[in-house]
A and B are shown apart, each in its own frame.
Chain A
Amino acid sequence: VATDSNPPTGDGGERLRDGIDWRTVVDHPLPWLLPALGLLAVFQLYPMVEAVRLSLTDASLLRPTAAYVGLQQYARLVTADEFWRMLRVTGVYAFSSVVLHVLLGLLLALAIDYGVRRGLYGHVTTRVAVLLAWVVPGVIIGLVWKVLLIESEFGAVNHLLGTVGIGPVAFRSDPTLALASTVAAGTWRGTAFAMIMLYGGLQRVPRELYEAARVDGAGRWNRFRHVTLPQLKPVLFVTTVLVSIYALNTFDLIFALTGGGPGRATEVLALFMYQEAFAEHSIGRAAAIAVVMLAANLLLTAGYLRAFDVREEL
C-alpha cells in the first residue's frame, strides 16, 4: 500500500500520498473514456431509457400523473391503419432519399475529384455551392422550397414552367407530387453530405491501383467497378448508414414544406410522433413511436452491416 513514506517507483511513475498510482491510471483506457461515456449516458442513454419507460405508460401533457399500461401503446400503434400508412410513406421517402443522396453524392464527388486531378477551374466553387445547401437548417430549406413551389404564377418554378406553357403544377396539393417534392428538397440538401464523405473516400484510393488497372487494359467503367467501388466500400457503408438515419428521422424539412399534407400524404413517422406529442398531447404514444423509430434505425444499420460485409474494414 502506498503511503507518504513510499519511495518513488523509479519508473517515472508518481505515487501520491493517497496511494493512487497515476501511471496505472493514465495507462488504463477507462479515465479517457469516462467523459465521453458520461456525456453519452446523460444525453443519449438516459433519454433513450426514458423514452422506453414513457412508451409503457399512458403519460399525457394534459394531466400530471401517468400509469404503466404495459405494451398497450405499441398494440394501439400496430392496429392503427394510419401507422402503417405513415410507415409506408416513411419507407418511400427514406428509400428514395438514400438512393438519390448516395448516387448524386457519388456523381458529384467523382466529378469534383476528376476536376481536381485535371486542375480544372471551378471545383472549389462547386464544393462550396453544394456545401451551402448542407449548412442551411432544414426548416429554412423547407420554407425556401415552399415558396419556390407555390402553385400559381407567383411560385418561381411554376412561373418558369408557365413560360413554356406548362402548369401550374400542383407540387404540394397533389399527394404524389407532394411526396416527390419533399424527396427533391431533401435530396437537394442531403446530397452535399454524401458528396463530402465520398469525396474524402476517393482521396484515399491509391493512385497506383488505377495505374495497374490501366496497364492491365481496364477501361473507365472497369476501373470504377473494380478499383473505385471496392476501395470506397467502407465509406459507402458509413455514408449509407448516416444518410438512412437522417432520412428516417427527417422532421424539420417536411414540417416546413408540407406539414405532412395534403391530408396525411407526406406525414412521416417523425412528424407523426411530433403530432402525437404536441397536438394530441399523448406523450406515451409519441414515446412508443420514438422507440419504433429507434428499432428501425438499428435494424437498418444491422442490415447494412451484413449487406456491405465491412466488419473487417471497420
Chain B
Amino acid sequence: MRDHNSGATRREALLAGGLGLAGALAGCQGRSGDGGQFADSDPLVTHERVGKGPEAIEYWTSEFYSPSEGESSQPAAAPAIRTQHRGWAETHPDYRIDLSYQAFDQWKNSLLTRASQGDPPPGSTLDSFWVPDVYNYLQPLTDYVDDVDDFFPFVRETATRDGDLLAAWKYTDCRCLYYRQDLVDEYGDGEPPRTWEDLVNLGGDIAAGEDAAGFLFQTGAFSNLPYFWGQGGRLVDDEGAPVLDEPANRRALVRTLGFLRRLVDEGVTPKRVANVAEYETLAREARNGQTAMFVGGNWQIEKDFKNVADDDRWRRWKVAEIPMRSADRFATGVGGWTEGVFLEGDSGRAAALKEFVSRFVEPEAMGRYCEAAGLLPTRQSVFENEDYFSSDTFPYQDRFRGFLEHGVARPAFPIYSTISSEFENAIGAVVTGQSSPEAAAETVIENVTEEYEA
C-alpha cells in the first residue's frame, strides 16, 4: 500500500509540475503572441530590437550599427541610426526587428552555412565583398529602393544582378596613400609620389636617411589590386570567367608583383611587410614613426590618427591617390557595408523587412549616418547635399570623394574569393623571395583557372 501511495504521490507531483510548467510556457506564449509584451512606456528602439510589434523578424548585424550609444562600437553614429529605425517602427506597428549581433570572425561562415542548408536568417548586414557569395540567396530590393542610378557605378555593378538590386549599399570606403608631409618636404619636393618610380626613389631616400621604412602596405589582395587595375588589368570578364591568362592581364599581374618585390629589394619596404595583415598595424607603425608612407583606408585618418592623438601631430599625415605605374591612370579599391534580405516575397514580413533595409540607403538617412560616423556615402547626390552630409566634419572627405571617381569594387563573381586568396599568397611568396613575380603570377593563373573550371 505504501509503495502504491508513494507512486501515486510521485505521479501527482510530476503531473502538478508538468501542468505548472505548461502553464508557465503558455503564459509566455500568450504574452508574446498577443503583442502586449511591451508597455507604452518602453522605448520604440533599443539595442536588441526595432519596434514593438508582435511579429518578430530576426536580423543579423554588428554592434557597429547598434542604435544604442551605450552598446554601439561607434556611439557617435547611434543617434542617426536610431532616428532611421524609429521612422520604420512608427510605420510598421505590427512588426519588430530582433537585432542579433554577430561576431565578425564567424559571421560570414555562419551565414553561408545556414544559407546553403536552406535556412538563412531573414536579413543581415553584409560586407560588400560577401555580396557575390550570397547572390543565390539574396532577394531583390529593386521595388523598395529609389533612384538606383544615383549610386556610384561600382555600387550598381556589384549590388545588381540581372537588373535586380540585391543589396542596399549604405556606405563605402577607399584606399589611398598616407604620407608624412614633413618627410616628403625634407626628402622630396613636397609633392606625394604619383608613380611607382617616384615612390621607390622617395621611399628609398627616406628609408636611407631615417630609422624607418620608406613605405609599408598590407599584403592583402584588395590593398594591392589597384596597382593591377591602374594598368587596365581585368580579373574577370562580363560573365565572371577569369581572364588573368590574357596577355595584357598577365603582364599587369607580373608587373604588379614585380613592383612589390622591387620595394623590398631596394630597401624601401622591409621584408617584415609579409606579416602586415591589418590596417591597424600600418597606423600603429606610422604613429610610432616606423614608416613614412603607407596605403591605408580612408577611415584611418579619423579613427587611427586624430582620435588617438594627444596633439596636432596627426596633421602631418596627408592623403593622396595610390601611386601607379604611370601617372595618367589611377585606381583605388572601394568597399563598405550593405544590407540584404533573404526572405522571399513582397508581402507581410518580407515587405516589412525590405522596407526596413531600404531605409539605410535613403539619401537623408545615409547622409546623417555617414556624417556622424565619418564614412563615405554611396549616393553621389548625398555628397552634394549640405543638409544631409557636411564634408567638413571629418578630415579629407573632399579628397576621398575625388578618389572614389577611380573606385573599383571587387568583381561581383564568386571566383573572386579564389583570385583574392591566390593573389595574397603570391604577394607573400614574392616579397619573401620564395618565388619570382613571373612564377608567382603563373601559379595564380593556374590555380584560379583550375578552380573556375572545377
The interface of chain A, by Cβ under 8 A from chain B, is 58-64, 72, 76, 80-82, 151-152, 154, 168, 170, 172-175, 259, 261-265, 275, 278-283
Contacts and interface: CB of A to CB of B under 8 A. Distances in A.
Given A59-B116, A64-B136, A280-B418, 12 more contacts: A58-B454, A61-B113, A64-B115, A151-B272, A174-B432, A262-B275, A263-B435, A279-B417, A279-B421, A280-B417, A280-B421, A281-B133
B290 interface: yes
B432 A175 contact: yes
Q: Main secondary structure on chain B at its contact with chain A?
A: helix
Contacts of B418: 280
A61 B112 contact: yes
A154 B277 CA distance: 17
Nearest to A158: B272
Most buried by A among B116, B117, B450: B116
Contacts of A82: 447
Given A152-B272, A172-B274, A263 B112 contact: no
Contacts of A281: 112, 133, 414, 417
Given A80-B450, A175-B434, A263-B435, A62 B133 contact: yes
A72 B288 CA distance: 52
A273 B292 CA distance: 38
B102 interface: no
B429 A173 contact: no
Interface string B412-454: 0010011001000110111110110000000100010011001
Given A76-B454, A173-B272, A173-B275, A64 B117 contact: yes
A174 B271 CA distance: 8
B406 to A, nearest CB: 28
B434 A262 contact: yes
A263 B426 contact: yes
Contacts of A62: 112, 116, 133-134, 136, 414
A263 B274 CA distance: 8
Contacts of B136: 62-64
B347 interface: no
B430 to A, nearest CB: 8
A64 B118 contact: yes
Contacts of B428: 261-265
Contacts of B426: 263
Contacts of B272: 151-152, 168, 170, 172-173
Contact of B429 (A60, A264, A275): A264
5 contacts: A62-B112, A262-B432, A262-B434, A280-B417, A281-B133
A59 B447 CA distance: 19
Contacts of A280: 417-418, 421, 451
Contacts of A263: 274, 425-426, 428-430, 432, 434-435
Contact of A152 (B113, B118, B133, B290): B290
Interface residues of B, number: 40
A96 B301 CA distance: 45
Contact of B275 (A58, A81, A261, A283): A261
Nearest to B213: A152
B432 A173 contact: yes
A265 B366 CA distance: 44
Contact of A262 (B113, B431, B451): B431
Nearest to A259: B277
A149 to B, nearest CB: 9
A77 to B, nearest CB: 11
A102 to B, nearest CB: 31
Contacts of B414: 62, 281
The 7 closest A-B pairs by CB, nearest first: A263-B429, A263-B428, A151-B272, A262-B274, A61-B112, A173-B274, A262-B428
B447 A265 contact: no
A279 B447 CA distance: 14
Nearest to A285: B454
Contacts of A58: 454
B5 interface: no
Contacts of A81: 443
A261 B133 contact: no
B109 interface: yes
A64 B116 CA distance: 4
Nearest to A59: B116
Contacts of A64: 115-118, 136-137
B241 interface: no
A157 B211 CA distance: 20
A151 B270 CA distance: 10
B432 to A, nearest CB: 4
A246 B117 CA distance: 31
A189 to B, nearest CB: 21
A44 B414 CA distance: 33
Contacts of B133: 61-62, 281
A290 B39 CA distance: 53
A259 to B, nearest CB: 7
Nearest to B451: A280
